[in-house]
Amino acid sequence: MCELLLKMENISKSFDKIKVLKEVNFELRKGEIHALVGGNGAGKSTLMKILTGVYKKDSGNIFINGTKIEINEPKDAKVNGIAMVFQEFSLVPTLTIAQNIFLNQEPKNRLGLIDDKKCLKKAQTLLNSLHIDVHPEETIDKYSVAYWQLVEIAKALSYNSKILIMDEPTSSLSENETEILFDFMKHLKEKGISIIYISHRMEEILKIADRVTILRNGENVLTQNSSSLTLEQIIEHIVGRELEHAFEWQKRDIERKEPVLKVKNLYSKRHNLNNISFELYPGEILGVAGLMGSGRTEIVESLFGIKSYDSGEIRINNKKVNIKSPQEAMNAGLALVPENRRTKGLILDHSVKDNILLPILKKLKEKLFINDKKGRDITEKLIKTLSIKTEGINQKVKFLSGGNQQKVVIGKWTAHQPEIFLMDEPTIGVDIGAKTEIIELIRSLAIENKSIVIISSELQELLAISDRIIVLKNGMVARAINREDIFSEEELQHAVQKG
């Protein structure tokens, strides 16, 4: 297990004179799962992009099996057995598993044409060797998202990769699916494959990783066996300070007289909503728990006018509404922090300021002109409150790290000051320090009498902030529970699994 496979030595990288990696060292042994962790913008992705040939390092050396190698482009990484498993899946749903695995490297027959039979046979051999129990002749869309991930890995391994980089692989997996992935990772380890594992989910790191390397502000903080680390120590090293009791729930008194939002028998055959009913009161934080496919996202998207529904009634402040577009939803006092920020929440080519001010441009308009000073002040204040790591208000959002992009999405809707916030997994990809900041922000919104519906697959997070939790199953509200009646995470977990 101690054989050194990869060594990255004194790696430095700057963007526009800003040093984002400062002589960083990273080592990977054969058959090791090595977690690379750090706050948003710490430099994890940049280091991995250097390893996969997406970016070029400014200085430093990379060795594989003791031999110095040069990685100038993605091809070089591939040749050296390094592969990235994509978080945003690169599989084509309508192609078979075999076709997906060998896409762009299809086995050919003597005439130079794609040999489907050979492709299927090769895929079956590969899948068998990895103990992945799927049928290569079936289209991938027949399988759950966990299997997509396994097929992604099989695809990476079809290039004879020895090093796999996994960036937040569990962010869209349920608890059971995560277990499937972890078992598979252990199997890969036994086969001598080495894995670099990036995640903001701390418990996972202690569960799966052999060693942990922590980066902070582009510098090494620590590399240590995970068995000799505690959760608190990891968090402290990432954040650079001790975190207060952010995840501790505090009981709040909610006056449940007139609901601000009333959903009655919401039904959509197409989107699998089966007569959903619930109420949301002023100043209340309503948690929504449920497995993937239970209808979580569909509810908020229906409320926000993105998805249509067949029947049912939505009332805002006791007035029946018929919202057909996001614009109408905004006019009715709603805001949505969507799950997939890159495709739904941001204009990546625009600046932090433009993105944050987008929903309030009308409000900022004085006569014909936009009040620029006011806009700048609002943006600067939000950058400070949410600790958004950016070079400034004019930095393009595409250059921010993933977690900081998420904070911009939240900031954008806070500026709009709606009455009701719909938040779909608001802390996905957000580091532990920022997570506590977002939890605090949600609490302060509720104190200002805003009402919040928050979907989260992290039950710890739901338990920390919700006043009430509804558990969804098969497009129905299986249970509605007051927070004070839930005594442990296991209890909620049980409710989510069983409904």
Ligand X SMILES: Nc1ncnc2c1ncn2[C@@H]1O[C@H](COP(=O)(O)OP(=O)(O)OP(=O)(O)O)[C@@H](O)[C@H]1O
> For binding to ligand X (CB under 6 A), which residues are involved?
15, 20, 38, 40-46, 389, 399-404, 431
Nearest approach, Cβ of residue 171 and ligand X (Å):
11
Which residue number, 39 or 375, has a Cβ lying nearer to ligand X? Answer: 39
Answer for the pair 277, 251: CB distance below 8 angstroms, yes or no: no
Amino acid, single-letter form, for residue 374: K
- For helices 432-447 and 402-416, give the axis angle rounded to 10 degrees: 10
Question: Measured between alpha carbons, how far is residue 452 from residues 283, 414, 455, 481, 486 in Å?
Answer: 8, 12, 10, 16, 20
Which residue number, 22 or 381, has a Cβ lying nearer to ligand X? Answer: 22
Which residue number, 15 or 159, has a Cβ lying nearer to ligand X? Answer: 15
Which residue number, 51 or 285, has a Cβ lying nearer to ligand X? Answer: 51
Answer for the pair 273, 298: CB distance below 8 angstroms, yes or no: yes
Amino acid, single-letter form, for residue 219: E
Nearest approach, Cβ of residue 60 and ligand X (Å):
15
Distance CA 78, CA 195 (A): 15
| Helical (H) or strand (E) element with 480 | strand 476-482
Which residue number, 197 or 304, has a Cβ lying nearer to ligand X? Answer: 197
Nearest approach, Cβ of residue 406 and ligand X (Å):
8
Nearest approach, Cβ of residue 77 and ligand X (Å):
17
Which residue number, 260 or 434, has a Cβ lying nearer to ligand X? Answer: 434
Strands (E), 260-366: 261-268, 273-280, 285-290, 311-316, 319-321, 334-337, 365-366
Answer for the pair 6, 184: CB distance below 8 angstroms, yes or no: no
- Which two tokens mark 323? 């919202």
Nearest approach, Cβ of residue 43 and ligand X (Å):
4
Which residue number, 96 or 405, has a Cβ lying nearer to ligand X? Answer: 405
Nearest approach, Cβ of residue 391 and ligand X (Å):
7
Using CB atoms within 10 Å of the CB of residue 293, give its burial: 0 to 12 exposed, 13 to 18 middle, 19+ buried: middle
Nearest approach, Cβ of residue 87 and ligand X (Å):
10
Nearest approach, Cβ of residue 47 and ligand X (Å):
7
Which residue number, 170 or 466, has a Cβ lying nearer to ligand X? Answer: 170
Close Cβ partners of 135 (under 8 Å, ≥ 6 residues apart): 97
- The strands making up 261-268's β-sheet, listed across from edge to edge, are 273-280, 261-268, 311-316, 319-321
Nearest approach, Cβ of residue 349 and ligand X (Å):
13
Close Cβ partners of 451 (under 8 Å, ≥ 6 residues apart): 260, 261, 280, 281, 282, 283, 284, 285, 286, 419, 420, 421
Which residue number, 307 or 396, has a Cβ lying nearer to ligand X? Answer: 396
Angle at CA of residue 497, ends 226 and 342, nearest 5°: 65
